[in-house]
Amino acid sequence: MLDLSRERNRMVDVHISRRGIHDREILHAMREVPREAFVEPGFEEFAYEDGPLPIADGQTISQPYIVAFMIEMAGLEPGDHVLEVGTGSGYAAAVMSRIVDRVYTIERHPGLAETARQRFKKLGYGNIEVRTGDGTKGWPEAAPFDAILVAAGAPGAPLALQEQLDVGGRLVIPIGDEPNEQRLLKVVRTGAATYSEEDFGGVRFVPLIGEQGWPERSNFAQTGHLVGRARARSLPEMIAAAAEPLPEFDDPAFGALFDRFADRRVVLLGEASHGTSEFYRARAAITRRLIEKHGFTVVAVEADWPDAAAIDRYVRHRAASDSPDTPFQRFPTWMWRNTDVAAFVAWQREYNGRVRLSSRQAGFYGLDIYNMSGSIAAVLKYLDRVDPQAAGIARERYGCLTPWQSEPSTYGRAALTEGYQKCEEAVLQQCRDLLARQLEHAERDGADLFDATQNARLIASAERYYRIMYYGGPQSWNLRDTHMFETLEHLLAARGPDARAVVWAHNSHIGDARYTEMGIVRDEVNIGQLCRQQFGNEVALIGFGTHSGSVAAASDWDGEMEVKAVLPSHSESYERLCHDCGVSRFLLDLRRDEPLRSRLLERRLERFIGVIYRPETELRSHYADVSLAQQFDAFVWFDETEAVTPLGPEHAAAGVPDTYPFGL
């Protein structure tokens, strides 16, 4: 027989333990029970993927994570008597039997019940009793139970099950108005006739069919994934079914689709490249809606603080600073000086003009390390002059600060040339001078207190930033993202206790790093992860993706902007699944459809294009392994996309309104 113990341990480490289940009894039981013995013949090799699988009678074996999660919710203890409704394959009952004293499990399909019985016997699990019948009526002869777990979705918590709980007993059950979509509830019997209830979020189970469940109806087969006798759908088909098509950007219905996130404190909007028009226009449409209809007052973007501050003054109708520097003049200029950003900035100014009340006006802020691109440009200019070899190394190292430049050789070159080290002091001096010059103007500007405090905070750490950035490597990524997160926290605090923010940054900053190669392989953190850790469910992480088209990007750091063709997405990527689904632009809510969600937990490739795009080495340079459904709460898809249009003199001539902050 196949020895899958390594795969089993890996599954427990990666899909159970790493995702927050720490109960030792559960982890131990899951390392012990051979899941491959509970799947249908031919499916053994998939037994340790974290997904549900089809079993006989059109039913499913639950995803391992959900089994662990429900057991943890139920707080099972060694001496407990437990009832399970919905034996299915018997896997969950087997895991529970390794933790508790006795498990009673009921299945309505006689064939499934019998197969499970034989499996328990073969494995020597003697403390499980199986019965065929309607589990909504419970198992009165064996009651009371310390815990009851229901593995199918019900319209409400069946009374019989509530009554068969011991006082202190826990009922874990998916409940929802639709047969195939539920919330996972924990009902605790607190007294003879009293119960408390707790909601653990959206899930998707097959329906609980019975006297105190749903009536038996043949059309369930059409509505649920892997339910009934319908053919199991492919993953692209599942995506197509869950995809919510996106209207035109200017249609109010576009922003309205995102109203579901309007109660969040922070909505983070990603992008899969820094040079794709559709990503900017979509973020603008969503942000307009969140500001106008839901009172968001902070737009915080992946840009330098001083440059964004110039835009902020403009959109809030404040006087321009007397700084001689026009914002966003340095590489990569197209990232903010483009027609899509100009249009959004014009809208924000017009909106703020309408609201007038300054506390309700929406500000525009930069989250990045203070004047990062300015400092980098100054360093490169200096090194180009005094030590071109060191300049080459610096260019590569700065590439690592931007997504996505996985260039192992760059990190590997730890032994920098002698010249590189010799330049350090002079380079830091460049940065200090630049900072001093900018602060002088910021001070004279004076009016904006927050600007001044933010500046002061930055001076304190500038020296450290510059050194770490000069020497590069993963540390500089973490420094940068931690800084961005802290700036966001300060912004929220400064805008008042109810302030809510929209963040625009690349997918690599927004998608929870713990579920990507960044976190798993390189111990990198990012703003999305830090937001989730700090604000929990008050955060929405929304990623963006595309299959092909064109993108504005350079070939090297500091290089010219080029419009490059984006290669069709890799056959093993999430992007390819979205492309194959056949819907050209859509919102995919990753929390709504549990069977789909569990399939999108599997690690696959995802494409990251930053300010640099190297199609020649695309797989190595731009793809990384991620678990999409954990990385994001939702994914926005545009199958075919176009490069942004950088602002040029022709836009002034063509009458782009009020071009002041961009200094055309």
**Chain centroid offset of residue 653 CA:** 41
Alpha helices by DSSP H, listed for 98-203, are 110-123, 159-163
Beta-bridge mates of residue 546: 638
Residues between 92 and 111 that touch ligand SAM (CB under 6 A): 92, 106-109
Name every residue whose Cβ is closer than 8 Å to that of residue 591 and which is 6 or more positions away in sequence: 201, 202, 597, 633, 634
Our CB check for ligand SAM shows the closer of 63 and 573 to be 63
Q: Shortest gap between Cβ of 110 and ligand SAM (angstroms)?
A: 10
- Among 543, 536, 595, CA closest to 200: 536
Task: Give the residue, chosen from 47, 71, 96, 152, that forms a contact with ligand SAM under the rule CB under 6 A.
Answer: 152
Residues between 35 and 74 that touch ligand SAM (CB under 6 A): 59-62, 67
- Does position 91 interact with ligand SAM (CB under 6 A)? The reply is yes
Helix (H, G, I), strand (E, B) or coil at 91: helix
Q: What are phi and psi of 600, to 5 degrees?
A: -90, 10
Q: Pairing mode, if any, of strands 501-504 and 298-304?
A: parallel
Q: Shortest gap between Cβ of 593 and ligand SAM (angstroms)?
A: 15
Task: Give the residue, chosen from 32, 134, 292, 602, that forms a contact with ligand SAM under the rule CB under 6 A.
Answer: 134
Task: Give the residue, chosen from 136, 508, 526, 550, that forms a contact with ligand SAM under the rule CB under 6 A.
Answer: 136
- In angstroms, rounded to a whole number, what is the distance separating the alpha carbons of residues 323 and 573? 46
Q: Shortest gap between Cβ of 136 and ligand SAM (angstroms)?
A: 5
Q: Pairing mode, if any, of strands 128-132 and 102-107?
A: parallel
User: What string marks each residue from 196 to 225 as x (binds ligand SAM by CB under 6 A) or -?
Assistant: ---------xx-xxx--x------------
Q: Shortest gap between Cβ of 134 and ligand SAM (angstroms)?
A: 5
Residue 89 is a catalytic residue: no
- In angstroms, rounded to a whole number, what is the distance separating the alpha carbons of residues 41 and 635? 34
Query: Burial, 232: exposed, middle or buried (Cβ in 10 Å; 0-12, 13-18, 19+)?
Result: middle
- In angstroms, rounded to a whole number, what is the distance separating the alpha carbons of residues 448 and 309? 10
Q: Are 469 and 476 in contact (CB under 8 A)?
A: yes
Q: What are phi and psi of 394, to 5 degrees?
A: -60, -40
Our CB check for ligand SAM shows the closer of 63 and 297 to be 63
Find where tokens 């440009």 sit. Answer: 377
Our CB check for ligand SAM shows the closer of 182 and 529 to be 182
Task: Give the residue, chosen from 21, 82, 112, 643, that forms a contact with ligand SAM under the rule CB under 6 A.
Answer: 112
- Does position 33 interact with ligand SAM (CB under 6 A)? The reply is no
Candidates 128-136, 480-488, 501-509, 548-556; binding stretch for ligand SAM (CB under 6 A) = 128-136
For the chain, how are helix, strand and coil distributed in percent, rounded to 5?
Answer: 45, 20, 35
Our CB check for ligand SAM shows the closer of 91 and 261 to be 91
Active-site position among 17, 62, 89, 627: 62
Of all residues in this chain, which one has the CB nearest to ligand SAM in the complex? 86
Task: Give the residue, chosen from 34, 51, 64, 135, that forms a contact with ligand SAM under the rule CB under 6 A.
Answer: 135
* Contacts to ligand SAM by CB under 6 A: 59-62, 67, 85-86, 88-89, 91-92, 106-109, 112, 134-136, 151-152, 205-206, 208-210, 213
Q: State the catalytic residues.
A: 62
